[in-house]
């Protein structure tokens, strides 16, 4: 049927049956190429934007058949109506004209101008026509969302919320088994083949806990994460950097009082579980409070310095067991010292190194490097090289050789008996462990924040490449979300906490390897987790004769991966003169070598936060000048632009007696503290380049025109500062005018409630808001003879009235003069209407 729209006399088709609606909502019908002419798009946008809306229907409704009843007008429709309305104005005042609007009512005309996007005659749907050739799929929403029953609406929304936090419910039903099942399984097994040996090294070598707790960190937490992750190729678990920091954080507590090796192990198990609990709490709080945007705190220099520092610390911690000096380091207390002390210990005791242990370690490391080079050079030609588990093969070979040749009796340290994990789950957070929890709380939060930063980097950079053949396309996945990743990590570490596992975070290296191995979906990480569980609970006795120098060689590969990019980045920083990033790298590495990794990273984060706060709290106010030969083109007088070069800055025209300033950013309490002071500085010098100790370059008070085109929002503190600025200039007898203010209803109401409109209403006229800087300048030219805040002087009644000829313009001026004695916007508008009528 045909129905009249709410925007004019135009008619449009409306689907009246479920089949019609399905056709209209098909991907072929909903094309951005012709959205203005397709009624299905209007129907779709009304449904989407009225999601969960229970407001009463508007005057224009879309009637549909079936149980869905009447569709209420959506927010999109209201927005479209506001866009078409010529009556909406800034701060609710009558719309000013665009041809020379003035402060005086006698210069007002009937023509209407436009402010902002909402005043444009082009709707949002018509803006979409600029995008051509783009289509998107549309899922029909659950009809229960629009049911009159609250219970049905709750069930429908619960289904969507469940899919939001468990993306597996979205991608698993559409999983292409024939296309990607084999590659996902092979990728999961490949990643498990070299990550399980790494977890053994993380546990015993870095965190001083039995190997089974490292495997547990890869097993069940990864399974939970796979159900909740939005990144298909992400592999979580213990990371070398986090493991190094965990080991350094718990070292002063587990070695206090000369404990026995059994006591060290028992203490380490509890402290590691408590740090995992801190990870869980931190990730949960940040995820549910939607603090994922904090990943911007990590600068490039801090990230590079952190990775390099972790590589250096990990290298020192790896060389000690690789050379067979672990027990000597514990006896001399070097295990608890800084990386610089450990380096001195290695150089001093190098003659005492165990030859067989060093040979096993360095030969294994050489084979791993050779296989890495072979894979990087010939993997494209020989695809099978990607799936060769070289690390697993080396571990199996050295374990068999140790068992056959009895290397353990020749001084080589082996893994030994590894007990199967106890599946009984218990919380480490008890009254007896509260003091221990407080000891590692600050260190645990720092480690968790760094883990969050690293996971955020992986989530933004690791994603399956689109296949060349559509048949091998992965199933539909939700858009990666940092907040949802935080929630997923929180639940993964919650399970890890109950199992006393190492903390789990996203790993860039293994996630990238998972992608290269052919992973397309989260099923690869599920395969990885299940294989780790099988090894943990069934095959641990097979690693009894595994030499620890072999695990140290595997860790050496991680050290190389962390350090190999550092020289190139440092050279790049030198070439582009990024001295700030270089300083950050030097500070983090220097403090890490001298003291500890925790302190180095903490100082780096502190410097980054200070830099962000200094940038955020500095108001970027600009002084404007006119481009020669133009009427309404103004540029920043302190900086060159696309049409004004450095040499042409001196040719910009200053407006006499007027200070033109631009506020190109939202104003809030953080960046308004120095706004008034900087405005005074501009008034004295006309530029921000002059030092405030120099004598003033400009004489006399000036009127001020503020260009607010970039001020998209404003809080109460900023409004108070603006009121103070306007009041100060009014007491000096000067005007403050606002130009190009953004149309924002919230900000407009805030201005009105704070009294700023009243302060900008000079001599009883409407508030001084203008569509352009040129209009504000013309208004100043007309108002120079009036004093802001005072009424225009009326002629003395005792003096004889001068008889002049009658003129219509004089009558208009007389009416305007009488209107200036009235107070209130309603009376002023009546006078304006009378003057326009005359």
What CATH number corresponds to the domain at position 817? Answer: 3.30.750.24
Axis-axis angle for helices 523-538, 220-228 (nearest 10): 170
Residue 470's CB is within 10 A of a number of other CB atoms, namely 8
Query: Which residues have CB under 8 Å from 370's CB, separation 6+?
Result: none
**pLDDT at residue 327 above 80?**
yes
10 Å Cβ neighbour count for 251?
A: 19
Lowest mean pLDDT among 61-75, 199-213, 355-369: 61-75
Give the strand pairing for 658-662 and 622-626: antiparallel
Tell me which of 566, 597, 613 is where a domain ends.
613
- Give 335: exposed, middle or buried? Use CB within 10 Å, 0-12, 13-18, 19+: buried
In this model, does residue 798 exceed pLDDT 70?
A: no
pLDDT for 213 beyond 70: yes
CA 719 to chain centre: 27
Q: Which of 738, 736, 725, 650 is nearest to 689 (CA)?
A: 650
Assess whether 383 and 234 both reside in one domain. Answer: yes
> Stretch 507-526: mean pLDDT, rounded?
80
Domain count, the chain: 3
Residues 6+ apart with CB under 8 A from 26: 40, 138
d(CA 210, CA 588): 31
Domain contains 32 = yes
- In this prediction, residues 505-533 reach a mean pLDDT of 84
Residue 303, Cα to own-chain centre: how many angstroms? 16
3-state secondary structure of 381: coil
Q: How far apart are CA 319 and CA 662, in angstroms?
A: 59
How does pLDDT run across 89-135, given as a tens digit for each residue? 333 333 344 333 444 333 333 333 333 333 333 333 334 334 334 34
Q: Is residue 797 part of a domain?
A: no
Work out the end-to-end distance of the chain between its first and last CA atoms, rounded to an integer number of angstroms.
49
Gyration radius of the chain's alpha carbons: 35
Predicted confidence at residue 444, as pLDDT, reads: 92
d(CA 214, CA 207): 9
In this structure, of 33-37, 172-176, 721-725, 768-772, the range with the lowest mean pLDDT score is 33-37
Compute the mean pLDDT over every residue in the chain, rounded to the nearest whole number: 74
Q: Tell me the per-residue pLDDT of 715-740, one tens digit each, with 9 for 90 and over.
A: 999 999 999 999 988 888 889 999 99
Q: Is the same domain home to 322 and 438?
A: yes
d(CA 397, CA 139): 54
Examine the domain organization and report whether 33 and 127 are in the same domain. yes
Q: Residue 139: which pLDDT band, with cuts at 50, 70 and 90?
A: low
Residues 680, 562 share a domain = no
Tell me the pairing of strands 62-63 and 11-13. unpaired
580 and 646 in a single domain? The answer is: no
CA angle 687, 691, 693 (to 5 degrees): 125
Tell me: pLDDT of 433 over 70: yes
Q: Quick one: 434 exposed, middle or buried, by C-beta within 10 A (0-12, 13-18, 19+)? A: exposed
Task: Classify strands 736-739 and 769-770 as parallel, antiparallel or unpaired.
Answer: parallel
Give CA–CA dist 269/289, Å, rounded: 30
The alpha-helical segments, DSSP class H, found in 434-544 are 434-439, 441-461, 482-498, 508-516, 523-538
Q: What is the DSSP string of 75-104?
A: HHHHHHHHHH-S---GGGPPPPPSSS--SS
* pLDDT at position 278: 95
**The pLDDT value given to residue 630:** 81
Sign of CA dihedral 768, 772, 777, 783: negative
Question: DSSP secondary structure string, 347-358?
Answer: HHSGGGS-HHHH
**pLDDT band at 551; cut points 50, 70, 90:** confident
Q: What percent of the chain has pLDDT over 70?
A: 73
Q: Are residues 605 and 623 in the same domain?
A: no
703 class by beta-carbon count within 10 Å (0-12 exposed, 13-18 middle, 19+ buried): buried
Going by pLDDT thresholds of 50, 70 and 90, the confidence category of residue 403 is very high
Residues 335 and 424 in one domain: yes
Residue 505 in any domain: the answer is yes
Which has the closest alpha carbon to 312: 578, 585, 511, 579? 585
Asked if residues 709 and 740 have their Cβ atoms less than 8 Å apart, the reply is yes
> What's the average model confidence in pLDDT over 371-393?
80
**Number of CB atoms found within 10 A of residue 753's CB:** 11
Burial class of residue 806 (count of CB atoms within 10 Å of its CB; 0-12, 13-18, 19+) = exposed
Last residue in a domain, options 583, 613, 643? 613
Residue 458 pLDDT exceeds 60: yes
Residue 143 has pLDDT above 80, yes or no: yes
Instruction: Map residue 592 onto helix, strand or coil.
Output: helix
Q: Does the pLDDT value for residue 477 go beyond 90?
A: no
Domain membership flag for residue 647: yes
Asked if residues 145 and 139 have their Cβ atoms less than 8 Å apart, the reply is: no
Claim to verify: residue 158 and residue 188 sit in the same structural domain:
no
Check residue 435 and give its pLDDT.
Answer: 92
pLDDT value for 281: 95
Higher pLDDT, 492 or 309: 492
Q: Exposed/middle/buried for 216, CB within 10 Å: 0-12, 13-18, 19+?
A: buried
Backbone angles phi, psi at 62, to 5 degrees: -105, 115
Q: Which residue has the higher pLDDT, 320 or 134?
A: 320
Contacts for 678 with CB less than 8 Å, ≥ 6 apart: 619, 621, 688
Last residue of a domain, one of 116, 135, 165: 165
Q: Is the dihedral of CA 224, 226, 227, 230 positive or negative?
A: positive
- Residues 341 and 196 placed together within one structural domain of the fold: yes
Mean pLDDT over 204-231 rounds to 89
The token pair that represents 413 in the structure block: 């340290």
Euclidean distance between CA atoms 76 and 48, whole angstroms: 9
| Selection from 769, 771, 707 nearest residue 115 by Cα | 771
Report if residue 266 sits inside a domain. Answer: yes
Measured distance CA(379)–CA(162) in Å, rounded: 41
Mean pLDDT of 811-827: 41
Q: How many CA atoms lie within 13 A of 124 on its CB side?
A: 14
Helix, strand and coil content of the chain, in percent to the nearest 5, comes to 60, 5, 35
With contact defined as beta carbons under 8 Å apart, do 258 and 423 qualify? Answer: no
User: If DSSP codes are grouped into helix, strand and coil, which group holds residue 609?
Assistant: helix
Q: Which of the residue ranges 128-132, 199-203, 251-255, 392-396 has the most confident prediction, judged by mean pLDDT? A: 251-255
Phi/psi for 737 (5° steps) reads -120, 145
Kindly tell me the sign of the dihedral angle through the C-alpha atoms of 380, 384, 386, 390: negative
Res 277: pLDDT = 95
The residue with greater pLDDT, 752 or 792, is: 752
Query: What pLDDT was estimated at residue 784?
Result: 54
Q: What percent of the chain has pLDDT over 90?
A: 17
Is residue 478 very low, low, confident or very high in pLDDT (cuts 50, 70, 90)? low
| Cα(52)–Cα(49) distance, integer angstroms | 9
Taking residue 97's Cβ as centre, other Cβ atoms within 10 Å add up to: 16
Provide the pLDDT for residue 497. 93
At residue 96, the pLDDT reads 40
What is the CB neighbour count within 10 angstroms for residue 505?
A: 27
Q: How do 736-739 and 703-707 pair as beta strands?
A: parallel
18 domain residue, yes or no: yes
Determine contact, residues 100/94, Cβ cutoff 8 Å.
Answer: no
Lowest mean pLDDT among 214-228, 242-256, 296-310: 296-310
**Residue 43 falls inside a structural domain:** yes
CA distances for 457 relative to 421, 506, 507, angstroms: 33, 9, 10
- φ, ψ for residue 463, nearest 5 deg: -155, 140
Using CA atoms, how far apart are residues 756 and 321, in angstroms rounded to an integer? Answer: 71
pLDDT tens digit sequence for 622-653: 888 888 878 778 888 877 877 777 777 777 87
Residues 393 and 268 in one domain: yes
Model confidence pLDDT, tens digit, residues 679-711: 887 877 777 777 777 777 766 668 899 999 889
User: Which of 77-91, 126-140, 355-369, 492-506 is the least confident region?
Assistant: 77-91
Question: Residues 453-471: what's their mean pLDDT?
Answer: 66
Mean pLDDT, residues 8-16 taken together: 41
Distance in angstroms (rounded) separating the CA atoms of residues 421 and 437: 23
Half-sphere exposure of 786 (CA within 13 A, CB side): 21
- Tell me: do 228 and 141 sit in the same domain: no
**Mean of pLDDT values over 575-579:** 89
283 backbone dihedrals φ, ψ, rounded to 5°: -65, -40
Mean pLDDT for the stretch of residues 166-182: 84
Average pLDDT over residues 508-514: 76
Neighbours of 532 (CB within 10 A): 25
CA dihedral for 213, 218, 220, 225, sign (positive or negative): positive
pLDDT at 429 exceeding the cut of 70:
yes
pLDDT at 552: 85
Placement of tokens 């290695």 in the chain: 346
Please write the tens of the pLDDT for every residue from 337-361: 888 888 999 999 999 999 999 999 9
What would the mean pLDDT of 232-258 be, rounded to a whole number? 87
Structural domain for 559, as ranges: 168-613
Q: Is residue 796 part of a domain?
A: no
Please report where in the chains the tokens 């706004």 appear, as a residue: 675
More confident residue, 65 or 776: 776
Q: Strands of 634-636's sheet, edge to edge?
A: 634-636, 622-626, 658-662, 703-707, 736-739, 769-770
Same-domain check for residues 638 and 608: no
């Amino acid at each position: 049927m045909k129905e009249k729209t709410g925007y004019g006399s135009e008619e449009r088709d409306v689907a009246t049956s479920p089949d019609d609606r399905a056709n209209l909502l098909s991907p072929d019908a909903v094309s951005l190429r012709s959205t203005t002419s397709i009624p299905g798009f209007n129907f779709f946008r009304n449904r989407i934007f009225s999601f969960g809306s229970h407001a009463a229907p508007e005057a224009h409704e879309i009637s549909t058949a079936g149980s869905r009843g009447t569709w209420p007008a959506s927010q999109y429709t209201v927005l479209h109506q506001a866009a078409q309305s010529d009556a909406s104005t800034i701060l609710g005042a009558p719309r000013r004209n665009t041809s020379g609007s003035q402060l005086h009512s006698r210069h007002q005309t009937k023509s209407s101008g436009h402010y902002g996007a909402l005043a444009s005659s082009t709707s949002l749907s018509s803006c979409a026509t600029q995008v051509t050739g783009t289509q998107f799929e549309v899922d029909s929403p659950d009809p229960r969302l629009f049911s009159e029953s609250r219970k049905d609406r709750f069930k429908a929304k619960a289904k969507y919320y469940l899919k939001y936090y468990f993306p597996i419910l979205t991608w698993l039903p559409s999983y292409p088994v024939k296309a990607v099942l084999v590659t996902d399984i092979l990728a999961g097994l490949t990643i498990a083949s070299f990550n399980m040996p790494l977890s053994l090294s993380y546990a015993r070598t870095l965190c001083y806990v039995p190997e089974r707790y490292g495997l547990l960190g890869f097993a069940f937490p990864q399974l939970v994460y796979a159900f909740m992750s939005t990144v298909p190729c992400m592999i979580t678990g213990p990371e070398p950097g986090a493991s190094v920091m965990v080991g350094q954080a718990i070292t002063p507590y587990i070695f206090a009082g000369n404990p026995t090796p059994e006591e060290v192990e028992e203490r380490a198990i509890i402290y590691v579980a408590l740090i995992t609990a801190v990870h869980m709490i931190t990730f949960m709080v940040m995820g549910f409070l939607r603090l994922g945007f904090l990943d911007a705190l990590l600068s490039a220099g801090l990230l590079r310095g952190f990775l390099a520092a972790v590589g250096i610390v990990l290298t020192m911690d790896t060389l000690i067991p690789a050379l067979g000096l672990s027990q000597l380091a514990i006896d001399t207390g070097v295990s608890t010292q800084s990386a610089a002390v450990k380096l001195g210990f290695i150089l001093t005791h190098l003659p005492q190194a165990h030859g067989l242990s060093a040979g096993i370690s360095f030969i294994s490391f050489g084979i791993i490097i050779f296989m890495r080079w072979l894979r990087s050079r010939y993997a494209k030609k020989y695809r099978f090289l990607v799936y060769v588990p070289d690390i697993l093969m080396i571990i199996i070979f050295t374990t068999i050789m140790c068992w056959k040749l009895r290397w353990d009796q020749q001084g080589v340290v082996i893994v030994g008996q590894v007990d199967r994990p106890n599946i009984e789950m218990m919380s480490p957070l008890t009254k007896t462990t509260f003091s221990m929890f407080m000891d590692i709380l600050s260190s645990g939060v720092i480690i968790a924040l760094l883990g969050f930063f690293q996971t955020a980097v992986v989530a933004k950079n690791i994603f399956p490449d689109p296949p060349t053949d559509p048949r091998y396309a992965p199933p539909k996945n939700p858009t990666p979300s940092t907040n949802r990743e935080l929630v997923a990590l929180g639940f993964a570490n919650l399970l890890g906490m109950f199992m006393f596992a190492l903390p789990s975070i996203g790993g860039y290296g293994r996630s990238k390897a998972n992608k290269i191995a052919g992973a397309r979906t989260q099923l690869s990480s599920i395969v990885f987790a299940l294989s780790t569980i099988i090894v943990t609970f069934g095959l641990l006795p097979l690693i009894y004769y595994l030499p620890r120098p072999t695990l140290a060689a595997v860790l050496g590969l991680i050290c190389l991966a962390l350090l190999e990019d550092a020289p190139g980045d440092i050279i790049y920083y030198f070439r582009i003169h990024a001295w700030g990033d270089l300083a950050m790298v030097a500070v983090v590495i220097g403090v890490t070598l001298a003291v500890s990794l925790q302190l180095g990273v903490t100082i780096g984060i502190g410097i980054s936060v200070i830099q962000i706060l200094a940038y955020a709290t500095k108001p970027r106010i600009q002084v404007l000048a006119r481009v020669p030969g133009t009427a309404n083109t103004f540029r920043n007088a302190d900086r060159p632009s696309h049409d004004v070069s450095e040499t042409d800055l001196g040719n910009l025209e200053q407006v006499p007696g007027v200070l033109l300033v631009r506020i190109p950013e939202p104003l809030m309490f953080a960046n308004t503290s120095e706004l008034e002071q900087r405005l005074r500085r501009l008034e004295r010098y006309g530029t921000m380049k002059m030092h405030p100790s120099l004598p003033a370059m400009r004489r006399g008070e000036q009127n001020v025109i503020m260009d607010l085109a970039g001020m998209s929002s404003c809080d109460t503190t900023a409004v108070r500062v603006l009121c103070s600025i306007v009041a100060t200039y009014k007491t000096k007898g000067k005007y403050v005018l606002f130009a190009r203010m953004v149309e924002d209803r919230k900000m407009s109401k805030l201005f009105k409630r704070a009294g700023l409109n009243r302060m900008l209403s000079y001599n009883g006229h409407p508030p001084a808001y203008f569509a352009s800087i040129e209009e504000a300048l013309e208004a100043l030219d007309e108002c120079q003879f009036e004093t802001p805040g005072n009424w225009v002087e009326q002629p003395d009644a005792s003096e004889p009235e001068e008889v002049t000829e009658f003129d219509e313009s004089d009558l208009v001026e007389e009416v305007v003069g009488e209107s200036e004695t009235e107070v209130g916007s309603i009376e002023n508008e009546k006078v304006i209407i009378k003057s326009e009528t005359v």
